[in-house]
Amino acid sequence: MTLVCGVDEAGRGPLAGPVYAAAVILDPVLAIEGLADSKKLTPRQRRTLAPEIRSRAVAWSVASASVEEIDALNILQASLLAMRRAVEGLAVTPHEVLVDGPHRPRLSLPVRAIVRGDATVAVIAAASILAKVTRDEEMLALHRRHPQYGFDRHKGYPTRAHLAALREHGVCAAHRRSFAPVRVLLALGVCRT
């Protein structure tokens, strides 16, 4: 049996929190109904599918790159780092890796980049769900530490409410300092870490 691993990330666009990536090898015999791009699913659907993916997968792994790594490397390189960590964290070595998007992490395995793969390839969709669910859980944990920012609602994305909270409360340690809205506030001296 050829073991194909799907890889996707979650959290490239937000102003706060780590970027997460998941790697999943599905068992072709154990089909999982409802797999789709995580962005097309409701939070409830994702939370229902995630444990099913974990229990039916041949192997799965979730990894991240920290806010500090994002700021040091840039978001693309940090995303690729998280992807590499996720694949390297698998308990089973795949024969091939399919990655969502146009970029490929550096791996010692054959890797194919598939644009819109999360919408067309089940194993990538499964990875997108695990990455998104894990990142959302992290943002809820950040919300408990910093409730003034509303991370439970916008998950760190640059919504109007998040930008208003940044202006009112300043920048905290969870914010990505290399992202323009945060960088501008820091230049203005708005930091209350």
Which pLDDT tens digit goes with each residue over 68-94? 999 999 999 999 999 999 999 999 999
The residue ranges of every structural domain in the chain are 4-143
Which pLDDT tens digit goes with each residue over 167-191? 999 999 999 999 999 999 888 876 6
Output 40 or 1, whichever has higher pLDDT.
Answer: 40
The chain-wide mean pLDDT, for the chain, equals: 95
> Mean per-residue pLDDT for 30-53?
93
Which CATH number does the domain 4-143 belong to among 3.20.130.10, 3.40.47.10, 3.30.420.10, 3.90.550.10?
Answer: 3.30.420.10
Which pLDDT tens digit goes with each residue over 97-130? 999 999 999 999 999 999 999 999 999 999 999 9
Which pLDDT tens digit goes with each residue over 121-143? 999 999 999 999 999 999 999 99
Report pTM: 0.95
Q: What pLDDT was estimated at residue 192? A: 61
Which pLDDT tens digit goes with each residue over 142-152? 999 999 999 99
Q: What pLDDT was estimated at residue 185? A: 87
Q: How confident is the model at residue 193 (pLDDT cuts 50, 70, 90)?
A: low
> Mean per-residue pLDDT for 46-69?
97
> Mean per-residue pLDDT for 13-29?
96
> Mean per-residue pLDDT for 159-174?
94
- CA neighbor of 22 nearest in space, from 167, 177, 193, 138: 138
Q: How confident is the model at residue 30 (pLDDT cuts 50, 70, 90)?
A: confident
Q: How far apart are CA 104 and CA 99, in angstroms?
A: 7
